Structure 1
């Protein structure tokens, strides 16, 4: 038996939690792979709010979703994930069940544009307030670059201090791999 890679493990957990008709957040839409995965989970009556600050990410994701016939399930938002509260208010009738982030930079994009500790922590705080009981926030942390190490330290420190009576927080990582492999942070609301 082999252990699941961090992305595979995150998707398994999200699949167990998300119900058709839910609202979910993709905090970093990137090239649209996770957005499409989440759109498959929420079904025709659900909604994915997908965020990115780069036009390229929105274009790549929109193209992918059109090809898969999933565009109607997604609101592709050219804005930072720290502004998630502004957009969630339009979907309050749908339970917010999950959120997913890939922290770092857009694969194949401009490596100088990265997620930052301040915006990520702001988004986490909003989502922790809004997410349903038993909801889950999955953050895949890519820390093989200098900004990633700074964000890693800040985010791990922050989520480590979430109230244990309200949240379970876990870290899933491979500790015998070289070159700073990504790891998964999970926040589950009790």
Structure 2
């Protein structure tokens, strides 16, 4: 597994945190499968004894991801689910170490199919309920498309009101990049009392 060496993209920063939060054997969730890069990355992090649940509403996302997993011979540790991330609670009944969101639209696909505030917030709520202590929800927010700014605002409204006794919320963003650089929100669940 190659570790992030540069901090030029929000995904590089995200990997620094994910590699600290995820251990071999963990159960994790890719809430927005897309083309499968995060799913594949997570499957390697959890190792042969771990498991990844990956969600997307587009059949082409599942096909693209399946090809990547087959190439690396790691299909046995991943379940690809053709459903919205807001329904993850119907598929997962175990505590998870991490839930990863990469919001927006599927690159090289229909840009009118985007993540939406109401379903994203519902999915984040489910994620927080599924997290084990010290587990992390990672949310990469892209705003350079119609609806992106609205989704960002609803996420910020939600996370700013999380109880600081239960969760730590970190914001990370590039302040000198043009063209709506993505922002990263990390939510860590604190110890249960």
TM-score bracket for this pair, using the shorter chain length: over 0.9
Counterpart in the other structure of 1:11? 15
SS of match in other structure, 2:133: coil
Match of 1:41 in 2: 45
Give the Cα separation in 2 of the matches to 1:152 and 1:118: 11
Structure 1 72/2 Cα, relative in aligned 2: closer, same or farther at 3 Å?
Answer: closer
Following superposition of structure 1 onto structure 2, how do residues 1-190 of structure 1 map, counting pairs within 5 Å? 3-89=7-93, 92=94, 95-190=95-190
Aligned to 2:91, the other structure's residue is in SS state helix
Task: Tell me the distance in 2 between the aligned counterparts of 1:44 and 1:144.
Answer: 37
TM-score under structure 1 length normalisation: 0.95
Unaligned runs of 5+ in 2: none
CA distance in 2, matches of 1:129, 1:101: 15
- Aligned residue pairs total 186
Structure 1 runs of 4+ aligned residues shifted over 6 Å read none
TM-score by length of 2: 0.93
Q: Which runs of 5+ in 1 are unaligned?
A: none
Secondary structure of the residue aligned to 2:132 is coil
1:134-156 Cα offsets, whole Å, 9 max, x none, are 10011100100121111011111
1-structure distance, mates of 2:160, 2:42: 26
Distance in 2 (CA, whole Å) between partners of 1:127 and 1:3 is 27
**Alpha-carbon distance, 1:3 to partner:** 3.7
Question: What is the CA–CA distance in structure 2 between the aligned matches of 1:6 and 1:146, rounded to whole Å?
Answer: 20
RMSD: 1.3
Q: CA deviation at 1:43?
A: 1.0
For 2:116 and 2:186, locate their aligned partners in 1 and report how far apart those are by CA, in whole Å: 18
Cα distance in 2 between the residues matched to 1:170 and 1:160 = 10
Whole-Å separation in 2 of the counterparts to 1:60 and 1:25? 17
Asked whether the 8 Å contact 2:6–2:12 carries over to 1, the reply is no
